[in-house]
Structure 1
Amino acid sequence: MSLRAAPAALITALDVDSRDAALALAGQTIPASPWVKVGLELFAAASPAVVSTLADRGARVFLDLKFFDIPATVRAAVRQAGRLGAAMTTLHALGGERMAAAALEGRHAANADTLLVAVTLLTSMTGEDLAWLAPDAPGHEAELVVHMARQAQAWGLDGVVCSPREAALVKAACGPAFKVVTPGIRPQTTDDDQRRTATPAAAVAAGADFLVVGRPIRTATSPAAAAAALAREILLASSED
Structure 2
Amino acid sequence: MSNPIYLALDVPRLDAAEALARKVKSHVGGLKLGLEFFCAHGHHGVHEIAKIGLPIFLDLKLHDIPNTVAAAMQAIHVLEPAIVTIHASGGRAMMEDAKAAAGEHTKVVAVTMLTSLDESDLAATGVGGSAHDQVLRLADLAHSAGLDGIVCSGQEVGAVHRQWKDGFFVVPGLRPAGGVLGDQKRAVTPREARDAGASVLVIGRPISRAEDPVAAARAIEATL
Q: Please give the TM-score of this superposition, normalised by the length of structure 2.
A: 0.94
Q: Cα offset for 1:7?
A: 5.8
The percentage of counterpart residues that share the same residue type is 40
* 1:121-158 deviations in Å (ceiling 9; x for gaps): 00000111021333633xx1101101111110111100
2:174 is the counterpart of 1:185: yes
Kindly tell me: are residues 8 and 181 of structure 1, through their superposed partners in 2, closer, same or farther at Cα, counting changes over 3 Å? Answer: farther
Letter in 2 for 1:105: A
- Cα distance change on mapping 1:171 and 1:7 into 2, 3 Å: farther
Matches within 5 A, 1:1-241: 9-107=4-102, 110=103, 112-134=104-126, 136-137=128-129, 140-175=130-165, 177-187=166-176, 188-234=178-224
Report the Cα distance in structure 2 between the residues aligned to 1:178 and 1:21, rounded to whole angstroms: 34
Distance 1:218 1:231 in 2: 14
For structure 1, the residue ranges without an aligned partner over 5 or more in a row are 1-5, 235-241
Measured against aligned partners, the alpha-carbon deviations of 1:75-100 in whole angstroms (never above 9, x if no partner) come to 11112223212110100001111111
Q: 1:156 to 1:103 in 2, by over 3 A?
A: same
TM-score by length of 1: 0.88
Name the aligned partner's letter for residue 161 of structure 2.
K
- Residues 52 and 85 in structure 1, CA contact (< 8 A), matched pair in contact too: no
Q: Do the aligned residues in 2 keep the contact of 1:9 with 1:33 (CA within 8 Å)?
A: yes
Q: Which moved more, 1:24-33 or 1:119-128?
A: 24-33
Structure 1 residue identity aligned to 2:106: T
Query: In 2 relative to 1, CA 80–178 (structure 1 residues): closer, same or farther, beyond 3 Å?
Result: same
Partner SS for 1:101: helix
Q: When the two structures are aligned, how many residues end up with a matched partner?
A: 223
CA contact (8 A) 2:59 2:84 kept: yes
Deviations 1:2-58 (A, max 9, x none): xxxx66600100010011111111111211123011001111222222222222320
| Higher relative contact order (CA closer than 8 Å, sequence separation 6+) | 1
